[in-house]
Structure 1
Amino acid sequence: MSKPQYAAGFHFVVSTPTQTQDKHARKAIRSHATKAGGARQQGAKLRSWISPNRELGSLKLAMSDKAPTPASTLSISSPRRIGSDFSGLQLPLGIESHMIQELVKLIDINKHGVYPYEICLNVHPVERGWFPYMISDLCCLHSMMFSIQAFTDRGSHNQLSRRACLHYAKTLQLLQARLNELDQTVATSDTTIMVVVLLASVAELMEDYATVGSHIKGLEKIVNLRGGVKGLNTHNNMQAKICRADLAYALLSGQQPRLLRDEIQWSCFIADRDLIQCSHQPHDAYVHAFLEATVDKRLHNALRDLHTFSCISNLAYQTTRKLSPDIYNEVMTSILYRLTNLSFESDPLQEALRVGLLAVSSTIFMQRQFMEHPYGHLLNLHRKSLLRLRESTDIDIPVPIVLWFTMLLHVVENREPSPLDWLSVWLDEVIYCAGIDSWPQAHDILRSMVWVNFVHDRCGMPAFEAAMLRLERGAGI
Structure 2
Amino acid sequence: MADTFPFIVTTPDDRSGDGKRRLVRSHVMRGKNLKRRPSRPPSCISVHPGDVNPSSTRKDPSILAGGCEVSYEIRSSTDLDPHTLETMRQLRRAIGPPDLGLAENQSELSWLEPIKSDPACLHFTMFVAGMWKDSIAVRGEQNTISQASLVSYGKVLNLLQQRFTDGASDVSTSDSSLIVVTGLVMGSLALCDFKTALNHLKGLHQMIVLRGGLSTLNGNRRLQFKICRADISVALSTGCDVYFLSDTEISWDSYIASLDSRDLYNSQETSTLSKELVVGMPEKLFIIWDDLSEVVRAINIAAQCARSVDFELYQEAMISIHYRLIKLEPELKIFDELIRLTLLGFCSGVFLQWRGVKFRFKHLAQQLMMILRHIGIDDEMSIGSFRMVLWSILVSAISVLDEQEAASLRPALKKTARRMGMTSWSEIETILKSFLWINNYHSAPAREFIETTLA
* TM-score (normalizing by structure 1): 0.74
The answer to whether structure 1 residue 197 and structure 2 residue 182 are counterparts is yes
Question: Is 2:387–2:431's contact at 8 Å kept on the other side of the alignment?
Answer: yes
Counterpart position of 2:209:
224
Structure number with larger C-alpha Rg: 2
Match of 2:235 among 250, 259, 275: 250
The answer to whether structure 1 residue 116 and structure 2 residue 101 are counterparts is no
Question: Is 2:65–2:298's contact at 8 Å kept on the other side of the alignment?
Answer: no
Counterpart position of 1:48:
43
- What is the alpha-carbon distance in structure 1 between the residues aligned to residue 352 and residue 435 of structure 2? 19
C-alpha deviation, 1:245, in angstroms: 0.8
Q: How many residues align?
A: 402
Counterpart position of 1:240:
225
Counterpart position of 1:149:
130
The answer to whether structure 1 residue 401 and structure 2 residue 388 are counterparts is yes
Amino acid at match of 1:63: A
Cα 1:188–1:450 shift into 2, 3 Å:
same
Cα 1:320–1:139 shift into 2, 3 Å:
same
Higher relative contact order (CA 8 A, sep 6+): 1
Match of 1:307 among 281, 293, 298: 293
Per-residue CA distance 1:195-247 (angstroms, 9 max, x = gap): 10122222222222111111000111111222222221344511101001111
Counterpart position of 1:11:
none
Counterpart position of 1:214:
199
- What is the alpha-carbon distance in structure 1 between the residues aligned to residue 453 and residue 270 of structure 2? 21
Amino acid at match of 2:65: M
Which has a greater percent of helix?
2
Question: Is 2:325–2:344's contact at 8 Å kept on the other side of the alignment?
Answer: yes
C-alpha deviation, 1:393, in angstroms: 10
Question: Is 1:145–1:167's contact at 8 Å kept on the other side of the alignment?
Answer: yes
Counterpart position of 1:174:
159
C-alpha deviation, 1:134, in angstroms: 1.4
The answer to whether structure 1 residue 461 and structure 2 residue 447 are counterparts is yes
The answer to whether structure 1 residue 379 and structure 2 residue 365 are counterparts is yes
- What is the alpha-carbon distance in structure 2 between the residues aligned to residue 418 and residue 257 of structure 1? 27
SS in 1 for 2:121: helix
SS in 2 for 1:241: helix
Question: Is 2:250–2:324's contact at 8 Å kept on the other side of the alignment?
Answer: yes
Counterpart position of 1:70:
70
C-alpha deviation, 1:295, in angstroms: 2.7
Cα 1:460–1:153 shift into 2, 3 Å:
closer
Per-residue CA distance 1:399-442 (angstroms, 9 max, x = gap): 432331233334344759999x6x44543444344444654443
Per-residue CA distance 1:265-318 (angstroms, 9 max, x = gap): 11221122799xx9996442662x433432322122112222222221111112
Question: Is 1:200–1:245's contact at 8 Å kept on the other side of the alignment?
Answer: yes
Question: Is 1:352–1:385's contact at 8 Å kept on the other side of the alignment?
Answer: yes
C-alpha deviation, 1:175, in angstroms: 0.7
Question: Is 1:436–1:442's contact at 8 Å kept on the other side of the alignment?
Answer: yes
Per-residue CA distance 1:449-477 (angstroms, 9 max, x = gap): 211112211122234445655xxxxxxxx
SS in 2 for 1:457: helix
The answer to whether structure 1 residue 295 and structure 2 residue 281 are counterparts is yes
Amino acid at match of 2:166: E
Per-residue CA distance 1:141-188 (angstroms, 9 max, x = gap): 222222212222344962222221222121111111111123312111
- What is the alpha-carbon distance in structure 1 between the residues aligned to residue 189 and residue 273 of structure 2? 41
Match of 1:140 among 107, 116, 121: 121
C-alpha deviation, 1:448, in angstroms: 2.4
Question: Is 1:332–1:365's contact at 8 Å kept on the other side of the alignment?
Answer: yes
C-alpha deviation, 1:138, in angstroms: 1.6
Match of 1:126 among 108, 120, 133: 108
Cα 1:144–1:58 shift into 2, 3 Å:
farther
* Higher alpha-carbon deviation: 252-261 or 214-223: 252-261
Cα 1:51–1:166 shift into 2, 3 Å:
same
- What is the alpha-carbon distance in structure 2 between the residues aligned to residue 148 and residue 416 of structure 1? 29
C-alpha deviation, 1:100, in angstroms: 4.2
Question: Is 2:254–2:287's contact at 8 Å kept on the other side of the alignment?
Answer: yes
Identity of aligned residues (%): 26
Question: Is 2:237–2:361's contact at 8 Å kept on the other side of the alignment?
Answer: yes
Match of 1:323 among 299, 309, 315: 309
In the alignment, structure 2 segments of 5+ residues that lack a partner are 1-36
C-alpha deviation, 1:109, in angstroms: 2.4
- What is the alpha-carbon distance in structure 1 between the residues aligned to residue 183 and residue 419 of structure 2? 50
Match of 1:79 among 71, 75, 78: 75
- What is the alpha-carbon distance in structure 1 between the residues aligned to residue 69 and residue 38 of structure 2? 24
